[in-house]
Amino acid sequence: MPRSVLIAVGGNSLIRAGQRGTIQEQFENARLTAAHIAELAALGYRLVITHGNGPQVGSQLLRSEAGLSQTYTQPLDVCVAATQGEIGYILQNALQSELRKRKLEIAVATIITQVRVSKFDRAFAEPSKPVGPFYHKEDAERKRDELGWNIIEDAARGYRRVVPSPNPVGIMEIDVIRKCIEQNIIVVAVGGGGIPVVAENGDVEGIEAVIDKDKSSALLAGELGLSHLIISTDVEFVYLNYKKPEQFAVKEMTIDDAMNYLEDGQFSGGSMRPKIEAAVDFISRGGEEVIITDPCHLVEAIKGEFGTHIKKTMVPKD
């Protein structure tokens, strides 16, 4: 049984479908997820928590725009940093409450995390990740001309800004995170995929981009030498033929299976595909297993009783 585990918490754990995303709603949702994470801590696991920040960074960008005449604006990397602090506080608070309920004296710390990317990543030449709100055509064109934004059209909802989504290549605060785990401190890190930075000639500079949080989570788990990565999302299993009449759950797969499913186009880019790609990357780097499930089944999943389990090879069962 693995003793140190990274849990990548999906955005649905804080803002659920149909909700406005108020702070009160986020606290209530965080408590539900934290209760299951605290159960893992009670079982003796040392934990690293990562999380998404899509809705929150969109709101942060809106605030920056709305206050343009009265306060300073925030570039995207600073917005990511701000949401790391905001969400980190919500998760820390929820986890501390749930740990105390169980009489567990375990500290929780949020680490504002920078993630290194390459300025030569082709994503910078091909921005593709939508961020922020939808705009009317005239507003979008004005922002494109005045701010140099890349804009795409969504036929159903309007126009939206797109930014680069480069691959993560290094975790700047990796040593601090490792030392916390060694002291059995639950760490919240790499929020929203991390603050994207470019490091060269001794300088570290933020850059406007969005890093996929599942890819950063896989990188972090690999650099920490963890054997297990859990991706917590809004479905209980990975499904093939998702939302089709022939849909069915896959409870076990090898990375060869996963790559074949990716080639067959089984998983959509904005949902399960980056999670499967992250699983393949983590196991290819030496990780033992990736588990994909929903927050309510974390304990059962880590015991092998629930969720989708992805491994390098499958050991035949007796």
Element (H, E) at 133: strand 129-135
Res 208: pLDDT: 94
- What is residue 48's three-state secondary structure? strand
Burial profile 272-309: b = 16 or more Cβ within 10 angstroms, e = fewer: bbbbbbbbbbbbeeebebbbbbbbebbbebbeeebbbb
CA atoms of 46 and 232, how far apart (whole Å): 17
DSSP state of 223: H
Are 36 and 299 in contact, with CB atoms under 8 Å apart?
yes
Q: Residue 1: what pLDDT?
A: 46
Q: What is the pLDDT of residue 270?
A: 75
Could you tell me which of 256, 254, 266 has the C-alpha nearest to residue 290? 254
Q: Are strands 186-188 and 195-200 parallel, antiparallel or unpaired?
A: unpaired
The two structure tokens encoding residue 219: 């990188």
Per-residue pLDDT of the chain (318 residues; tens, 9 = 90+): 468 999 999 876 788 878 888 999 999 999 999 999 999 999 999 999 999 998 899 899 888 888 878 888 899 999 999 999 999 999 999 999 999 999 999 999 999 999 999 999 999 999 999 998 899 999 999 989 988 899 999 767 899 999 999 999 999 999 999 999 999 999 999 999 999 999 988 899 999 999 999 999 999 999 999 999 999 998 999 999 998 999 999 999 999 999 999 999 999 877 899 999 999 999 999 999 999 999 999 999 999 999 999 999 866 555
pLDDT of the residue at 266: 95
Which domains, and CATH codes, for the chain?
4-113+170-311 (3.40.1160.10)
The Cα diameter of the chain in Å comes to: 69
Q: What is the pLDDT of residue 317?
A: 56
DSSP 122: G
Active site positions, annotated? 11-12, 129, 213, 275
Burial 83-107 (b: 16+ CB within 10 A, else e): bbebbbebbbebbbebbeeeeeebe
DSSP 8-class letter at 236: S
Residue appearing with tokens 């780097």: 285
